[in-house]
Structure 1
Amino acid sequence: MNASATRTAPTVPLDELPADLGPDAAVLVLEDGRTSVGRAYGARGTTVGEIVFNTGMTGYQETLTDPSYHRQIVVMTAPHIGNTGVNDEDPESGRIWVSGYVVRDPARRYSSWRADRSLDEELAAQGVVGISDVDTRALTRHLRELGVMRAAIFSGEDLVRGGRVRPVADLVEEVRSAPAMEGAALAAEVSVTEAYTIEPLGEHAGQEPVATVVAVDLGIKSMTPYRMAERGMRVHVVPATTDIATIESLQPDGVFFSNGPGDPGAATTEVELLRAVLDRKIPYFGICYGNQIFGRALGYGTYKLAYGHRGINQPVMDRTTGKVEVTAHNHGFAVDAPLDGESTAPYDDGRYGRVRVSHIGLNDQVVEGLEALDLPAFSVQYHPEAAAGPHDAAYLFDRFLDLMNQSTTEQEA
């Protein structure tokens, strides 16, 4: 038997939580009553959120700092986490965004020449409550069968009341009182409050930009504007609350909507902003949340997936080329659009013309991309910036640049 398996505490029934858990204990409680005892990892206390699982074998630091995980407790399906520690170069934002962290076997010591500190230390320093030594494989199977749900991690003094371990029924009630992800408008909570600009990088550094892009930050990862800047673009990253007049004042060749957290059905302001962009025929590219907002702007619906796509190993087919890409995902909602052939965008009696599903998920046939055929606009549901993840989808940034160049040529003609 693997030595690590003996350290993994079993799931216990509601009425069998031990009376004395010890000072390092932590308890994971799901809203359906499933309760697991483990060891505190990171900060001690209480955290509540939607519990989801990530299937990536690497990239835990990028996962933790992805704003799309705001208000979510993340379960890592890879058993060993923290092996390479934490450094100051790989974060995808200025802080850890996950509400809580669930791992099976945390590294006893980290080993990497790039590491500055341990993952446990980083979680504790940023106040992120976690739990280790739980059976994450069984937990993932449970979430796959029943769907993601609300959950909480309790540790330290928050596990005790009146000198006794709190009743499980009390813990479950606290979980069930937390807000659900459906209907949550969260982009403004993770967006920057002030705009900033990334100038052309690499071989394009110091040169005039080949195009100017306004990137609306709905929870953008830091690598995304850099991928565009590496191709010679000047990227103005603006807050989620930016209006169309401000965007136009920057004279963009294209507009980009980023990934982000929350329910796209609650993104009314963002949808209206995108419609203003489409009405002006400014070339548009959206990823992840930006794909869902594009779908809604066109008049299609969105729906919540049972357990979503989160990881760096999701197969997607680009219907334009027939190529299958292995891609990085982080989404719990999807666009409801016809998979076969072309359809007329439902909004305002077909105001935006014809649309087709350009990419499709091969695991479950979920819409993974949209392309407007009568407007310069397209989107994908995944992360082409590849941080972390494979670089199969990097060509999408080139496709965006081609779209902007084509639009400029047509205007000049």
Structure 2
Amino acid sequence: MVSVFSPPLHRQRHQFVIDFVKRNKPKKVVDLGCSECGLLQKLKFHREIELLVGVDINGANIKKKMHGLAPMSTDYLQPSFDQLRIELYQGSVTQEDARLRGFDLVTSIELIEHLTLADVERFSKVVFGYMIPVAVIVSTPNFEFNHLFHQPAGFRHSDHKFEWTRAEFKSWALKVCLEYGYEVEFTGVGQAPPGQQDRVGFCSQIGVFRRLEGRQDGNMLSGDDAEDLFSYTLLYSINYPSLHNNNILQRVLVSEVLYWAEKMKRNWIEEKTGERDDTLALCCAEWEGEECLRASKQHMEMEDKPTAACGAEMKNPEEHHESELFWTNGDGQQESRKLHRCVSVPLAVLWSCCPKLSDLSGSLSNLRHILMNDPEVKLSQDGSAVLLNDQEQDLDEEEEARDLEDSGYAVCSVSAETEEDWEKNV
């Protein structure tokens, strides 16, 4: 037999845990003997897990790869509602720590064979009698499989204190179940060659323990001052960005509102000016089609009040201005330009046309409340619409004013009284 498995044996063990997580969806998972965090690196992508913990007696091993558990840039750019906290501890699995009690799943992958038999007994007491998880997955080498490897007789690793046969592993597991109120299922990974599976079993034997109903309360109450034990040293902790965090939720909502309001503003300008903006085709696709665009146009054009100045009565953009620029042309005649126009995009349209906004905010009133407290968003006086500067026209006017300056025209901003005196001087 070739001693190399495909996939490699360690990947098969990790995949066994991942498949269990997919089926059972535990929220709190701890990997005992996590070493360089290989299994944790895979489990962090299964976001049904809310608390993911690793424990190893060798802190140096943890520190080698622990920063690889940090959130990626996409987790910050597109946070989800899923919550995930990762914690890594240095400590011995033979010691009790209150922070690891009551987990949904404890994994011990190729760990117990590194313990003395006396420590295995302490491990059993800590995991099954103190931590009291809902489920435990324990994998360990199957000694009966060893003669199939092309290597000298003995254990698979120099640090192994023992390697159990299937009968020895079964004896230990059943004793644990009887003493601590669990049931166990035996399986494994690493298939033997054809015709030898029944004779030698799996290369790595696995016991899947499940806590029996009705046994938790009695065990939990039996611990004297157990809640005060903190034996492990915290080496690393990180909270992944989540929309359950109000600050993150507000940031995402504001970003979405400003993005879609700008899209609607451009669409309205296109309809009024007849100028085509190719980005609007993308806008249509992202809004689930033309129907949503038509709804936004109709709403913005109701009662011929599609725009508004900041804090002013709603008017057509051609009818409103906040200030004016005055200059003299080549013939000595006064000319002016209107500045600081705003386009109003109703919140009701944004909320109804953008499913993400309605999902995130829950209600239109909640969306309005969140936006009112954000300095990046300018709302109308009654809070019913987002106000956007007509930036394109402002930029055109600024550029035109700069051209006038360069050509010798005088440019200034004045009041009506100053304008009268200035005309007299001319």
**Class of the TM-score when normalised by the shorter of the 2 chains:** under 0.3
Q: Name the TM-score, length of structure 2 as normaliser.
A: 0.22
- Structure with bigger helix share is 2
- Structure with bigger strand share is 1
Larger Rg: 2
